[in-house]
Amino acid sequence: MSKSVRIVLCGLGNVGKAFLELVAERGGEIEARYGLRLIVSAAVDIGGAAMMGEDGLPAAELLAHLRTGHAVETFAPGGSPGVSGVEAINQAGADVLIETTPTNLVDGEPGRSHIFAALERGMEVVSANKGPIVLFYREIHELARQKGSGVHISAATAAALPALDVGQVCLAGARLLEIEGILNGSTNYILTRMQQDGCGYEAALKEAQALGIAETDPSLDVEGRDTANKMILIANRLFGMSLGPGDVTVEGITRLTPEDVATSKAAGQVIKLIGFAERTDSGVRLSVSPKRLEKDHPLAAVSGSEKAISYLTDTMHRITVSGGKSSPVGAAAALLKDLINACASNA
């Protein structure tokens, strides 16, 4: 017998739409394979929501409506102009929040309010939004513990790259000593072009922007802050910490010169933007900076917009995983994975 899983989806940008598409395309397969009947009870965006009762919203029809440029609150049936995410969470009677609103690293809103409202109701939270969890990790973790809920953040840490899965599941029982990660596809693409083809930083950045790999405003990526935020989440989850932005030293790639690249190549090395976490006697040390890696380093061959993470443990030695699609579809797939794992384990 299938278990119904009612979902509130907050945020209907590229990742939210990609998640909705996966639900529409694979709902039958997921029910057959995992015994989970996924029901979208509510979908929310900036202007309002669409909400339905027992049977949920028709995901394929809603997706078509959104992709023709219409707002979610004009969808029939169920369109509700002006309904906020918190109101939808409180009214929908759902089991899971899928949080894909834009990352806000100032106050975490509106994702912060969505997550707290969902946890207060005992819902599972699956988030691609880093902001609230980076800024309020301790408070969110404590409330989830009190309510017996889970907060699942694979999509917020490395999208399709199963960084947390490896650390939490595959390395269970081992002691983590160090974590090194290439966690930003934009900066890795830029560095690859600079080193393999001799491009200057500005030329490589413009190329990445033209290909859609880098944002129009790339500052979060190239200044290292995106990698820092991901490392905060990974370190907090795997080391049992409550670290925040003030606990990581950050240096991006904007000051790298062709001379820096030439020097590293002459020494048989490659430059990568590395997020680093190390367990020390006094706690956990976090940093992000460009590092010169020897060619035999497990992260040295990670090229283009690929990402990777490498764990050093006491009993399993070094475990490295790379790849994963850097796209809205990849992030949506990570959300779906977390949703399935959270709900199937509770079936």
Report the alpha-carbon distance of residue 166 to residue 168 in Å, rounded: 6
Quickly tell me which residue has 């990352």 as its tokens.
Answer: 103
Residue 72 near residue 12, CB atoms below 8 Å:
yes
How would you classify the pairing of strands 176-182 and 308-313? Answer: antiparallel
Among candidate residues 17, 230, 307, 325, the one labeled active-site is 230
**Regarding beta strands 124-127 and 151-152, do their DSSP bridges make them parallel or antiparallel, or are they unpaired?**
parallel
* Token pair belonging to 71: 């707002």
Instruction: Confirm whether 17 is a catalytic residue.
Output: no
In angstroms, the first-to-last Cα distance of the chain is: 10
Distances (CA, A) of 52 to 32, 59, 290: 24, 11, 49
Cβ neighbours of residue 106 under 8 Å, at least 6 residues apart? Answer: none
**Residue 244: enclosing H or E segment and its boundaries?**
none
List all residues 6 or more positions away from 103 whose beta carbon is below 8 Å from its beta carbon. 111, 129, 130, 131
C-alpha dihedral (105, 109, 111, 116), degrees to nearest 10: 110
Strand order in the sheet with 308-313: 248-250, 283-294, 269-280, 176-182, 308-313, 318-322
Q: How far apart are CA 156 and CA 131, in angstroms?
A: 9
Joined tokens for residue 221: 């990526």
By annotation, the residues acting in catalysis are 230
